[in-house]
Each structure stands twice: as C-alpha cells, then as structure tokens.
Amino acid sequence: MILTLALLCSVALADQPAKTEDTAADTKRLDIGKQIYLTGHTASGDAIQAIVGGDAPVNGDQFSCVSCHRRSRLGSSEGGKQVPPLTAKALFKPAEASVTLGVLPKAFKYAGSMRLPYTDETLVRAIREGIDPSGRKLDPLMPRYALDEDTVAALTVYLKSESSSSIPGVDGTTLHFATVVTEGVDPVKRKAMLDILTGYFQDKNADTRHNTKRAKFSAYKMYQVYRKWELHVWELKGAESTWPVQLENYYKAQPVLAMLGGLSASGWQPIHQFCEHFEVACLFPNTDVPVISDTDFYTTYFSKGITLEAEVLANHLKNTTAKTKNQAIIQVFRDNGQGVVAAKALHNALQKTDEPRLQDISVAGSEKLGTAFWENLFKKQDKGILVVWLNKEDLETLGDIKKLPNGIAAVYGSANLMGDPAVKLPDATKAKLYLIYPWELPDAKQVQLMRVKSWLKSKQIPFVDEHLQANTFFSAQVLAEVIMHLLDNFSPAYIIERVEGMLATLSTNSIYPHLSLGAGQRFASKGGYIVKVSPDGHLLSENGWIVP
C-alpha cells in the first residue's frame, strides 16, 4: 500500500512540470491572440495581411478585429451593416434569436438568421476563407486573413476564452459598483456626491423589486439586467503611490462591474491606470486633470478639464482681433496642481497655431500674491495679454495695485479655478477680464439644473455644489440607461461601448451644451465659451461655443 502511494505521488509530481508548461503555453497563446485581436499585429509585431471585398489587399493596421467587433467582442453596426459578436458564447453555440427559444411561437423564430455552432476547424475556415459553419459566405466586408498556423491558433484560443461564468461584480441577484473618494477631499463635497449616489441606488433598487418579477414570465433577455445595485465606497488614503495597492485590495475583496463618479483631492492617474489594468469601466469621475491618452479604453470623462480650457483659450487667441493677436502672452500659475497642467497645455496648443511665445511666471504653492508681486511683474512686462491660472483669492490680489498697465490688453482667467465668477476687482481691471467657461451659460444652465434640484429636494439633500451634484446625478442616470440595454451581456467593455453609442441621444440633462462620444473617444464635452463679466455680474459670451 505504501509503495502504491509512493508511486502515485511520484507520478503526480512528475506530471506537475508538464502541466505548468502547458498552462504557461496556453497563457502565452491567449496573450498573443488578444494582441492580434486588438492591434492587428502578430507576436513578432508584423501587421497581419488580408483581402477584403474579394480583391482589395489590407493589413491589420487598417482592419483589426477590434475595429468592427469592438473590445467587448459583442459586435456593432455601421451604415446598415450588422457586425456579429465574437464571444465564445456566440461562436460555439447555435445562433439564436434574442429571445429564449421554445417560449415564443415558431413564427417568431427567424431560421434565416440561424447557423450551426463553430468548431475550431470551421472558425479557422471563417477567418481565412470567410465561410461560416453552415457553408454560407460571410459578408464581403469581412476580411479574409492570411494567417499561419501559429497565429490562427493563438487567435482561436483568444476567441474561445470567456469569462461570463464569473463576471467581476455580478452575481445572481446583484450588480456591484464602486465610487472612489481620496483623503483630503472637502467633506462637504464628499457628502454631496455620496448622498446622490446612495439616494439614486435606493430609488433604483425600489424599482428593481417590481421589475424582477417580470423576468419569471418573459422570454426576453432584457429583464436579466434587473438586479439589485450595491454601491461600495473605496476610500483611498496616503500618497498617490500607495493607491494602486489599496485599489487592488478593495477589488480583490469585492470585484465591481464598474466605477461611477468619484472625487480626488489631487490627480486621477492611479485610479485611471487601475481601471485599465483590471478592465473596470469607470464613468465620469469628477476631476479637472483627467488622463489624456489616445489608446486607453476604460474611463470616460466629462471633458479634458483644465487642458480643454487652455485649448479653448488658444483657439480664441488665434482668432481674436488684430488689437491683441500679435501681442506677447504672460501666463501666471501656481507651480503645483492644475496650474502647471494648464500652463503646459497652453504651450502645446499655441505651438500648434504658431502663436507668439509665452512668458511663464511660476508662483510657489505657498507664496502669497499681492501688490509687490504684480508691480514687479509689470515692471518687467507691461504690454500684452495676461493669462492667470489662479483661484479667486489669488486673482483678486490683482486689484491691490493702483492701476492695471494700459498696455495689458486683456486678462483671461479660468472660471473653473475661480469657482465663483463674482470676482472683486476695480472696474477698470474688471473691464479687461475674460473667463474661460466650459459649461452651459448660466441662464441655460439653471434650466438644466431644475431636474436635479427637484430630485435633491425630494431627498432632502442640500444643493451645495451645482457642478459636482449635477455631474454625479447625470453619471448615475447614464449608468442606469446603459445597464438597461446590456441584455445579458455584463461586460465592462460593453458598458463603455454603450456609453459611446447612447450618450448623444440621451434625454438626461447636463450642465454642458453638448455631450457626445464616438468609438474611441473619451471626453464628452469638447468645447467652451470665452465670457465677459458685465458690470451687473452677468456672463456674456464673446463669440459662441468654441471647439478647438
């Protein structure tokens, strides 16, 4: 008996390296397959080759799988063409209508849209030759890829991979979501945001209790999204360098399907990178310093924040009157936080438009501004355009000097950094003041705020921060609309894709004139106003909505 056990143990131990090697090989093939799908490039970095339309040669840079079938692999539609899903669930089972077969009458089953399930062999044939398992030719727009055995095998492994049996943040009754709040956030802002999210989730769950009853008597997949919503508040403490570990610990303890809103006292980059790494959808965090990337996928923002303001100003300066067009530009900013981001963005934007060189005046974060600072500045430069990336308190020190030099043609400030446009300055100085204003103009904005104000009143939540509260309420409404359209496709990537497709047509009110996203776009508002503060305190648009 002892000998038998010893032999069994030795066999098991001998088999472990082989299993480990197989697992490593499978993981490598999966990674290569994902690379092929997302980039159109092989393991060696070469673009894959294909024929489209019967005779037109193309490559992976022009026609990668993801460009049509999307990151979620759930397909898309364009110009009347339906691009089918490439999930394992869709490929390796018989094609079905969007209802549970057997419940509806046969008249509602469209046999013409049915097909046999794919096998490894028929999937390879479809990729290379454009023929489905039933022997029918795929649409001519579907490229016929010339892939060698190793490449097509890796792509097949990726297409067979499926995580739907264990979707992070989803169980049989509940959808889990998170919002992030960092240490140092104003307690009033923190409470304002969390009160809205908590109240909205309570309303949503009250409706869900009734809607879940419908699922028992319906063949439609849409009712599978009616589940309880649970909100998890992830509090981040300490230096930004420690946030990734904290976020990962939260996620391991309770995975979430998506992150919603959020507040940071500093930057958003560690949270953004966490969402990219763990493939968690993040909808509309409240930040003025978003991560600007051409390739990242999983976070949508309201706008580019302070960077957009700099780009709007650069566009305005390019197209302004001859009186100020060729003058020097002096920008004053704090050497920490948003001021640095804005100053750098203005440099980049002005380089693109070949505008005059900027003169940077950097102010230490702890330095107090006052008469001496401004008088010293204007002794060195008393002509040109003054751009101040400063808060209201700092800007008002400009009024400490007796008179703004006649040569200063205009002063531009950020309405976002100021917070309150009712700035106290001498009339002569205020007459030259313009603000970069990235929202709907005040009168129109008040109309857009009526719905959120009414909802807040019904919940007895104080209205303390119109931008934060309006944006948080908007984000929750967008999430609800998107989740309702997922059917049974609980995919973070699909959430982002649905936001891309639905945002421009939603009836949800926002404080921005225009919000829209297209495929690959991550900043919903793309412009801003340059406004003048009138003597009676009204903000008057200089030349309409500017999209740089």
pLDDT band of 3, cuts 50, 70, 90: very low
Same domain, yes or no: 332 and 293: no
Residue 548, domain member (yes or no) = no
Q: Are residues 321 and 388 in the same domain?
A: yes
Percent over 70 (pLDDT), the chain: 88
Q: How many CA atoms lie within 13 A of 273 on its CB side?
A: 10
Residue 240 sits in a domain whose CATH number is: 3.40.50.2300
Q: At what angle do helices 466-484 and 187-215 cross, to 10 degrees?
A: 20
Q: Are residues 409 and 535 in the same domain?
A: yes
pLDDT band at 10 (very low <50, low <70, confident <90, very high): very low
Kindly state whether residues 396 and 417 are assigned to the same domain: yes
End position of a domain, from candidates 108, 139, 162:
162
Binning pLDDT at 50, 70 and 90, where does residue 221 land? low
Assigned domain for 74 exists = yes
| pLDDT confidence band for 182 (50 / 70 / 90) | very high
**Do 318 and 429 fall into the same domain?**
yes
Q: Count up the domains in the chain and report the number.
A: 3
Evaluate whether residue 23 is within a structural domain.
no
Assigned domain for 169 exists: no
Average pLDDT over residues 385-406: 92
Instruction: Give mean pLDDT, residues 13-25.
Output: 56
Full residue range of the structural domain in which residue 345 is found:
306-437+530-541
Are both 88 and 179 inside the same structural domain? no
Please indicate, yes or no, whether residues 278 and 312 belong to a single structural domain of this protein: no
Q: Are residues 454 and 431 in the same domain?
A: no
How many angstroms separate the Cα of 372 from the Cα of each of 107, 190, 382?
84, 37, 15
Among 114, 139, 162, give the residue marking a domain's end: 162
What are the tens digits of pLDDT across the range 361-391? 999 988 999 999 999 999 998 899 999 999 9
Q: Name the token pair of 524.
A: 């919903």
Local structure of residue 192 (DSSP, 8 states): H
| 299 in Cβ contact with 275 (< 8 Å) | yes
Lateral strand order in the sheet of 433-437: 358-363, 329-334, 384-389, 408-414, 433-437, 529-533, 539-541
pLDDT of residue 354: 63
Q: pLDDT digit string (tens) for 108-166?
A: 444 445 788 999 999 999 999 999 999 999 999 999 999 999 999 999 999 998 754 57
Q: What is the pLDDT of residues 409-444, one digit of tens each?
A: 999 999 999 987 778 888 888 889 999 999 999 999
Residue 95 has pLDDT above 80, yes or no: no
- Note whether residue 17 is domain-resident: no
Domain C-terminal end among 162, 189, 204 = 162
User: Same domain, yes or no, for 367 and 427?
Assistant: yes
Whether 205 and 247 map to the same domain: the answer is: yes
